[in-house]
Structure 1
């Protein structure tokens, strides 16, 4: 019955709002955005860029998560696992939700504008991918890959933010594509930990995910994607000529994912899901230290 967005109506309003927005999950994407930024410039980006990356992700997180909750409020109201979500209980009103979305999108676009012209030009595409996700799962299991691509886009966004003063071809060259795809496969794995407990409910209500599509094989599919993720991350360490710190962080990243997978096999999906926050921080930190020290030679 674990639910990352559940809260009792009697709890503190600030706590309820944080649960509603699931702000701790920013740490899935923020470290990967910084990984992309540091690796793109092969050094330390400006404080201005790093702050704007944070605010852009912070605000689009508010808009995207609120939109997800708003789109799913009637579905969540019928699911025993999600009945305590604030928009279901009335602790957060529909009017509050629309206000959060407006604030989130304005903050996101303003941040992108001040990053650079390329980031601002591409920002509507990022918003479109994020804001359409809750509707995709009504139609196709590929919605899992859509939400995973959002994590991959965070790596791209960080690289574009840090190197966007240059031309498009230079930016494309500087985007660490190995890590983009490693992040997508990693995200598929941990996203399924959120869907597997709802297989029966989703089948009944015609909602789509790879958990519904694969049934009892969905956990193995999650593990396969995470093995692909670690393999690509190791390939990235080699391709970008990173140093020992990156190899250690990649190994620890894989170890944490393995622990999460073991927890998921024991049906401890809550801890399995949140262990991936640690995996993100550990991987990114190693790459960031290497880049800051100037070790990448690519």
Structure 2
């Protein structure tokens, strides 16, 4: 037995020796950056998924979208640059905190899946106690960002914490953990809107539209683990949809595009808002086509491309806030495109109407002559009119 354990102990020692090369995960998006970090930092960077920044962008972009969406009527302000910076810092630390919490709760599941078995907690690179301390440090940094937000945004951000806490357990009780993730990951839309002004009906439409988008892209992401999830009993929409995953994901893209277009219409996003929704839908159609053509082998690359889908929405609303909608041109005379004059009467039921009190004009015939006579007699006609009204 001792002879069997000795090679394993030596292997473990060599793997953690600073003189040996670091084993970067095969699916890391930034392997060079991860290897450049001090060895003691690398497990924590992996725990927070800092080497996989796609999740940071997918958490940050909804905040930017919500801010831009509520600036459509007022335009952008210089202070918005500060809000954008805070949103980005908050996205980095809170996404890291969410991933850390997810790894703590899923440590037993991760050990049974080939793609996640090398994560810091199941591999032993980080102890459970160290993971909790790291989680507290990230939450403390997020708290500092929270202190700088407006009051309404503070309250809105706090309401997201239960969603974050419950998410890791959703996959154990429902086939729709992606829907819960959609409600959680896109909460930044409400925070961004509350930072700009207030949360209105169109903002909620936009929020649910982006939640449908998350169901689509996280279903695509979950296709990588569908077989392992089936073996260990983890539920997901990827397993639920089966062979129709690509088609149903595109249906969620269509629903998302419809709600985004409706929200933009109700919030006066204009032509740019409509083109934004169409561009987003086109990107969704491209994802479904490539996913089907590659027999789901390109699932990870397609998932990552959703950063550009979110950037399309954010850029469209930012551009719409910066460029005011021009008045429509017409081949008719100018009076055809002038805004309607103030109505002198309002039609009421049963043939009744409510009329405005007509404003006296001082330059009409007879009134002009009366004013001239009053002025010749040393009477100020304006003062006399004021006394008469009193």
TM-score (norm 1): 0.85
Please point out which of 258, 263, 282 is paired with 2:290. Answer: 263
Q: Corresponding residue for 1:153?
A: 187
Q: Corresponding residue for 1:180?
A: 207
Q: Alpha carbon RMSD of aligned pairs, Å? A: 2.9
**Relative to structure 1, is the Cα distance of residues 16 and 287 closer, same or farther in structure 2, using a 3 angstrom cutoff?**
farther
Q: Corresponding residue for 2:151?
A: 117
Cα offset, 1:140, TM superposition: 1.0
- SS for the counterpart of 2:118 is coil
**Relative to structure 1, is the Cα distance of residues 295 and 177 closer, same or farther in structure 2, using a 3 angstrom cutoff?**
farther
Please point out which of 37, 56, 78 is paired with 2:112. Answer: 78
**Relative to structure 1, is the Cα distance of residues 125 and 275 closer, same or farther in structure 2, using a 3 angstrom cutoff?**
same
1:209 pairs with 2:236: yes
CA contact (8 A) 2:67 2:193 kept: yes
Residues of 1 paired with 2:213 and 2:252: CA distance?
6
Q: Which 5+ residue runs of structure 2 have no aligned equivalent?
A: 1-24, 328-390
Q: Corresponding residue for 1:130?
A: 164
Aligned length: 289
Residues of 2 paired with 1:101 and 1:130: CA distance?
13
1:195 pairs with 2:222: yes
**Relative to structure 1, is the Cα distance of residues 119 and 186 closer, same or farther in structure 2, using a 3 angstrom cutoff?**
same
Residues of 1 paired with 2:261 and 2:208: CA distance?
12
Say which is worse superposed, 196-205 or 227-236, in terms of deviation.
196-205
Cα offset, 1:55, TM superposition: 2.5
Q: Give the structure with higher Rg (CA).
A: 2
Q: Corresponding residue for 1:167?
A: none
Greater relative contact order, per chain length (Cα 8 Å cut-off, separation 6+): 1
**Relative to structure 1, is the Cα distance of residues 286 and 260 closer, same or farther in structure 2, using a 3 angstrom cutoff?**
same
The structure richer in helix per residue is 1
**Relative to structure 1, is the Cα distance of residues 124 and 222 closer, same or farther in structure 2, using a 3 angstrom cutoff?**
same
- SS for the counterpart of 1:44 is coil
Residues of 1 paired with 2:26 and 2:212: CA distance?
23
**Relative to structure 1, is the Cα distance of residues 123 and 82 closer, same or farther in structure 2, using a 3 angstrom cutoff?**
same
Say which is worse superposed, 85-94 or 195-204, in terms of deviation.
85-94
Residues of 2 paired with 1:140 and 1:7: CA distance?
34
Q: 1:154-185 CA distances to partner (integer Å, 9 max, x unpaired)?
A: 1111101222xxxxxxx232762232121011
- SS for the counterpart of 2:76 is coil
Please point out which of 249, 253, 259 is paired with 2:280. Answer: 253
Residues of 2 paired with 1:37 and 1:89: CA distance?
40
Q: Corresponding residue for 1:44?
A: 76
Q: 1:233-284 CA distances to partner (integer Å, 9 max, x unpaired)?
A: 2223322222443333333322222222223222111111001111111221
Matches within 5 A, 1:220-259: 220-259=247-286
TM-score (norm 2): 0.66
Residues of 2 paired with 1:2 and 1:264: CA distance?
21
CA contact (8 A) 1:72 1:134 kept: yes
Cα offset, 1:294, TM superposition: 4.4
Please point out which of 102, 111, 114 is paired with 1:68. Answer: 102
CA contact (8 A) 2:43 2:120 kept: yes
Q: Corresponding residue for 2:133?
A: 99
Say which is worse superposed, 104-113 or 17-26, in terms of deviation.
17-26
Q: Corresponding residue for 1:282?
A: 312
Cα offset, 1:64, TM superposition: 0.5
